[in-house]
Structure 1
Amino acid sequence: MPYEAPTHTVERSLRATTGAKIIAGVDEVGRGAWAGPVTVCAAVTGLRRPPEGLTDSKLLTIKRRSALAEILQTWVTSYALGHASPEEIDDMGMTAALRLAAVRALDALPVRPDAVILDGKHDYLGNPWRVRTVIKGDQSCVAVAAASVIAKVERDKMMAELGSEHAHFGFADNAGYPSPVHKAALEEWGPTPYHRLSWAYLDALPQWRHLKKARSWAEERVPAIEGQLGFDF
């Protein structure tokens, strides 16, 4: 099924309205998983024509996604990855963990971006970053689509490596997300050191419920910053 190719429309808008020259697209993967880190990629692409077939990583086959990630790693101007561990997710909550991973990725870029395009509706990054949020940015914005593909492939590799230590959980196939194999392994073996222990899936596992970590952080609330496409800084 063909998909509309992402464009540089948002990047051009940011350049025109803010004077930003270096613009990073940022996307995350792993938010809804039971195990493994949440991973964020920051990618700077400039205004060059993107590789053919670039789109949201979720719309690509595994084979195509892997091939495209290999191309993107040399095609982008620069990219960097940031991770927040399961322990950090448990300790601070997902919103703060996403911010931590994103800051780690942005700080690892060779040059600090003038602006950031963040996939989604909500700005979990905040000050001092100049952020433009774009719903479905991983389909419509070149830099965010590139970040989406790189982040997904890199995290999947990480989870496959963890799967070699815990073969029963099927991490190579489910990447730590909910699946029948994953649930069955949890019921029999309990969580691994790579599982998020503050999550509700443990409520359904009476024999392992005692391992659940109480949330020490306040109830997460969506940040008020919602700079969607068209917002002027």
Structure 2
Amino acid sequence: MPYEAPTHTVERSLRATTGAKIIAGVDEVGRGAWAGPVTVCAAITGLRRPPEGLTDSKLITPRRRAALAAELERWVTCHALGHASPEEIDDLGMTAALRLAASRALEGLPVRPDAVILDGKHDYLGAPWRVRTVIKGDRSCIAVAAASVIAKVRRDELMAELGLESAAVEPYAFAENAGYPSPVHKAALHDLGPTPFHRLSWAYLDAMPRWRHLKKVRIAAEAAALESGGQLGFDF
């Protein structure tokens, strides 16, 4: 699939305009899933040339993506993952859960970034981090693209491992859908109900009368963000 390779343009701009020397690219995966955590990767790459074929993780085949993630983990200066659990998503709302996962990733780095490049339009991270948001940053910015690939592959692996650890979740086919609403996943939910790995504040339970009583009320802050026009978005 043709694509325009990401560059270090944003990193160079931040260095020139802010004096930042250590810059982390940040991207998330799992925002639109019905089960599992939301996962954020923070990656620091410097200004070196990246491995061939780097781009947004969604544009890469699963086999190539897995191989590229392993290559990137050796190539980046450093990286770290942060997760927010389904329980934290239900309790805090997605925006705050993203902030929590991103903070965990950034604080897990061996060095503290001077600036952060965040994929997307909305800054869900905020102070004390110096943030530059970049729409489609996972396609245009090398550090964010690297974070995108690593986050996607490692979260997919985490979801696949759930099926190996517990036969009870096998019908949901997390290894194939990573917690997203595939037909098999929907059928299992309808017949068996949610597992401890499912997000219980999500609207899918409204369409399942047998399990609707398990739904958690979404917190007021999240509802207010939606009513004010805030876009939480989904990544597929």
Indicate the SS of the match to 1:221: helix
Compared with structure 1, are the counterparts of its residues 23 and 224 closer, same or farther at alpha carbon in structure 2 (3 Å cutoff)?
Answer: farther
Displacement after TM superposition at 1:163 (Å): 2.2
Q: Larger helix proportion, structure 1 or 2?
A: 2
1:230 corresponds in structure 2 to none
Number of aligned residue pairs: give it.
Answer: 225
Read off the aligned partner of 1:87 and give its amino acid letter: E
Query: Is the CA contact 1:119–1:137 (under 8 Å) kept in the aligned structure 2?
Result: yes
Distance in 2, Cα, partners of 1:214 & 1:168: 27
- Within-5 A mapping of 1:5-24: 5-24=5-24
Give 1:2 deviation, angstroms: 1.7
Moved over 3 A (4+): 222-225
- Mind listing any 5+ residue stretches in structure 1 that lack a counterpart? 226-233
Q: Give 1:157 shift.
A: 0.3
- Counterpart of 1:135 in structure 2 is 135
**Residues 220, 60 of structure 1: alpha-carbon distance in 2 compared, 3 angstrom cutoff:** farther
1:156 matched to 2:153: no
Aligned-pair distance for 1:217?
Answer: 3.7
Matched, 1:176 2:179: yes
Q: Percentage identity across aligned positions?
A: 80
Q: CA deviation at 1:220?
A: 4.5
Q: Give the equivalent residue in structure 2 for 1:193.
A: 196
Q: CA deviation at 1:93?
A: 0.2
TM-score w.r.t. the length of structure 1 is 0.94
List alignment gaps of at least 5 residues for structure 2: 231-236
Give me the whole-angstrom Cα distance separating, in 1, the residues matched to 2:176 and 2:185. 10
| Partner-residue secondary structure (3-state), 2:156 | helix
Letter in 2 for 1:74: R
- How far residue 125 of structure 1 moved from its aligned partner, in angstroms, is 0.3
In structure 2, the residue matched to 1:82 is: 82
Q: Calculate the TM-score normalised by the size of structure 2.
A: 0.93
Please tell me whether the aligned partners of residues 29 and 39 of structure 1 are also in contact (alpha carbons under 8 angstroms).
yes
Residue 212, structure 1, aligned to residue 198, structure 2: no
Say whether residues 1:38 and 2:38 are aligned partners. yes
Task: Please tell me whether the aligned partners of residues 40 and 102 of structure 1 are also in contact (alpha carbons under 8 angstroms).
Answer: yes
Partner of 1:202: 205
Note the C-alpha offset of 1:121. Answer: 0.3
Separation in 2, partners of 1:220, 1:195:
23
Is residue 62 of structure 1 aligned with residue 62 of structure 2? yes
Is the 1:91–1:217 Cα contact (8 Å) retained in structure 2? no
Letter of the 1:45 partner, please give it: T
